[in-house]
Copies of this chain bind each other. A is one copy, B any other.
Amino acid sequence: MYTARLFAALLLAVVCLATQEEYDNDILEEGITLTDSQYGSLWPLPQKVQMSTVVFKLSGASFQIVDAKESSSGASCSLLQNAYRRYFEYIFPSARKQGHVKKKTPASAVSELQVWITSADTECDGFPNVTSDESYQLSVDSPVSVLKASTVWGALRGRRPWCFKHTHAHTKKSINRTEISDFPRFAHRGVLLDTSRHFLPIKVILANLEAMAWNKFNVFHWHIVDDPSFPYLSRTFPQLSQQGAFHPYTHVYTPSDVKMIIEFARLRGIRVVPEFDTPGHTQSWGKGQKDLLTPCYSGASPSGSFGPVNPILNTTYEFMSMFFKEVSTVFPDAYIHLGGDEVDFNCWKSNPDIQKFMEQQGFGTDYSKLESLYIQRILDIVSSTNKHYLIWQEVFDNGVKMKADTVIHVWKGNQQQYQDEMSRVTASGYQVLLSTPWYLNRISYGQDWQATYKADPQDFNGTDAQKKLVVGGEACLWGEYVDATNLTPRLWPRASAVAERLWSDKDVRDLNDAYSRLAQHRCRMVQRGIPAEPLFSGYCAYEYKGV
């Protein structure tokens, strides 16, 4: 009793061909026919790819992934060894283990993938950063294929294109002769998850880091605390989570949890950038840290409620210095996100001590000057820990002085407004990160991945020099309406649309071709255990096994 027909003309539909079987089903709904991409299920699309019609066999019984003889990397690089294992298991879910070759390689088969790291410093034990070289070359040939990359980060990105044509289930597959030369369009390709509005169990975070890697995302923006809860267990100030988390031990991230998440991400070439947002969005901080928040007044007396961080007390900055000192050691990434958004001035305005301070400073009634004073001091504190920072756009809008390498994170407005903001920020010489069109918590009925896919972070008025200041973008999944029950299908494959926009060439914009590849890519994610939701009617050869 529901008409898909009405939408048919608007929609791009195709059955999912994660594995191409003899059984074909080329009509889904009247008027909708299958269109298959020449690039199979490649997602995101590489910068350059040449696929020949020559097809090689690929058998789990005779295939292995090894370090190339010339490679600067070897068995001691556990990052790569772990990657080989994961990768092998994805190609051959039910085959014998990697490294135990039993059968002789058949003719015109691929028997080996050699991974060749060319730099003397493989960066195997390091952390990825915004300047990491993620480029790679993949040559699929018989009997030996080669994946060549400067560092391990490129090798990690090169894993996935390898896995594109399965002609049979289980262990027998085939693969076309292919040459890929690939690199990312943008250096910062992030996903924001919010662990304050709902607590996300570690398992959920890890599963989504895995899915991020499949989509070549390289930044996990961890919006770890906010008004509703403070799940970060601080060694210096344990009372913050003891009092501020939803529960003091079932709903917190211990130092071990954080370390594990960072290492899990590193093994997949993903940076973990924590956000500790102040002075607003800090209600949960106030529970465990006396006098940190501004007491709001109702007339002449305190109302009992609290506003943003109190910017006029020395104790505030002493606390923040110690807190960010800890944060700077716990999180190895060169960047910390410092928030700075949506500061509500009403509480500050109500407080007589704040009023007096404003007078002394000659701020008049311009509370954005007070906000700037606070932010300025936080930026200085964080700079002193040798970290760089990202900051939400309001901090730029309010004219706060920032270091030249600050990244401004744009999130507000409609298309025209965010494009204007991108122009202004880059005209001022700052680097910029876009999220406005990628607030994936916002949902609507139908194929909203298309609008997500069309948005481009370099679509704004500006010089080439300005465009180069765009470091990338982030898909944001704010937590008001998501938790462990629905986060993963809400994020995938919608975030995959952002992933291709940020990785592939700017001219990769064909919605039909994207639909075909994305439908297959999502079935691949499902087969690997990630409940990525469907784009439209159809099926996967291997449906999700959970509930």
Question: Contact residues of A with B, CB < 8 Å?
Answer: 1-5, 7, 15, 23, 25, 27-30, 194, 197-199, 201, 203-204, 207, 223, 227-229, 246-248, 250-251, 277, 283, 305, 339, 341-342, 344, 392, 409, 411, 435, 439, 441-446, 476, 478-486, 488-490, 526, 529-539, 541, 543-547
CB distance from A448 to the nearest CB of B (A): 10
A485 to B530, CA, bound (A): 8
On whether the beta carbons of B483 and A15 are closer than 8 Å, the reply is no
Residues on B with C-beta less than 8 A from A533 are 481-483, 485-486
Indicate whether A538 sits within 8 Å of B198 (C-beta atoms), given known contacts A1-B411, A533-B481, A547-B207.
Answer: yes
Residue of B nearest to A533 (CB): B486
Taken together, the copies of this chain in the complex come to 2
A173 to B95, CA, bound (A): 49
On whether the beta carbons of A30 and B539 are closer than 8 Å, the reply is no
| 10 residue pairs, one from A and one from B, having the closest CB atoms | A485-B531, A486-B489, A246-B539, A197-B537, A484-B544, A2-B478, A486-B533, A207-B547, A485-B544, A228-B537
Residue of B nearest to A251 (CB): B539
On whether the beta carbons of B5 and A199 are closer than 8 Å, the reply is no
Residue of B nearest to A192 (CB): B1
DSSP majority for the A interface?
loop
Pick the contact of A392 from B1, B392, B435, B541 — CB < 8 Å? Answer: B1
Indicate whether A227 sits within 8 Å of B409 (C-beta atoms), given known contacts A15-B246, A478-B2.
Answer: no
Q: List 30 A-B contacts (CB under 8 A).
A: A1-B223, A1-B277, A1-B339, A1-B409, A4-B480, A25-B229, A29-B228, A30-B283, A30-B344, A198-B537, A198-B539, A199-B539, A203-B547, A207-B547, A228-B537, A229-B539, A246-B538, A246-B539, A247-B541, A441-B445, A443-B443, A444-B445, A481-B533, A481-B535, A484-B543, A484-B545, A485-B531, A485-B534, A486-B534, A546-B547
CB distance from A301 to the nearest CB of B (A): 19
A488 to B251, CA, bound (A): 24
